[in-house]
């Protein structure tokens, strides 16, 4: 089976909860198989993606939307601020690899971080805004819960 970042749809479209064990296993496979293991990082679209491919040493080029889908999963499943940080790190990845103007394209070169293919790409910007809003909402939920219950308390899944 080819691992594809669009498997994120099982929780993004609320087929399953982000913390469901099937989703956990799926998203961990996406992260493991599609992580771009260069200094640039990010998440590829699917294994052996040939679209604008610049290196056979990685699964594919890092895509903003795919990396942000993984961020959204980390945010949705977070039951504490430490878990929420995993999503924040991927949001920061997106800001780091946007062009100096703030423009996000479709994908970037896995070795240099230079934009590849379409740029700007509205979808990348929409995923970023969605992920930031989800992060802020989840941060507020977790912070409020921790303030009322004490540090170390995990937020219930139903929250």
Per domain, the residue ranges of the chain are 5-149
The residue assigned the tokens 């296993």 is 25
Instruction: Output the CA angle 76-80-81, nearest 5 degrees.
Output: 95
Mean predicted confidence (pLDDT) in 91-111: 98
Residue 86 confidence (pLDDT): 97
- Cα(140)–Cα(26) distance, integer angstroms: 27
The residue assigned the tokens 């780091």 is 96
Where are the strands (E) in the chain, listed by range? 43-44, 62-63, 107-108, 115-116
CATH number, domain 5-149, options 1.50.10.10, 3.40.50.80, 1.10.10.10, 3.40.50.300: 1.50.10.10
Q: Is the pLDDT of residue 152 over 70?
A: no
Q: What is the CA radius of gyration of the chain?
A: 16
Q: Are 42 and 60 in contact (CB under 8 A)?
A: no
Structure tokens at 134: 């989800």
pTM here is 0.92
Mean predicted confidence (pLDDT) in 34-56: 96
Q: Is the pLDDT of residue 154 over 70?
A: no
Residue 1 confidence (pLDDT): 84
Helix axes 64-77, 122-149, angle to 10 degrees: 20
Structure tokens at 147: 């303030």
Mean predicted confidence (pLDDT) in 139-154: 80
Residue 151 confidence (pLDDT): 60
- Cα(59)–Cα(51) distance, integer angstroms: 11
């Amino acid at each position: 089976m080819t691992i594809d970042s669009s498997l994120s749809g099982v929780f993004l479209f609320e087929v399953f909860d982000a913390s469901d064990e099937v989703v956990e296993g799926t998203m961990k496979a996406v992260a493991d198989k599609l992580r771009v293991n260069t200094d640039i990082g990010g998440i590829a679209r699917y294994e052996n993606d040939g679209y604008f491919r610049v290196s056979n040493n990685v699964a594919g080029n890092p895509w903003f939307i795919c990396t942000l889908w993984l961020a959204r999963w980390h945010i949705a499943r977070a039951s504490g601020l430490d878990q929420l940080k995993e999503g924040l790190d991927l949001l920061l990845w997106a800001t780091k690899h946007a062009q100096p103007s703030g423009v996000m394209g479709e994908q970037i070169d896995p070795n240099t971080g230079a934009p590849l293919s379409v740029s700007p790409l509205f979808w990348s910007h929409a995923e970023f805004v969605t992920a930031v809003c989800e992060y802020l909402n989840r941060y507020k939920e977790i912070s409020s819960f921790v303030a009322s219950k004490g540090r170390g308390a995990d937020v219930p899944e139903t929250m």
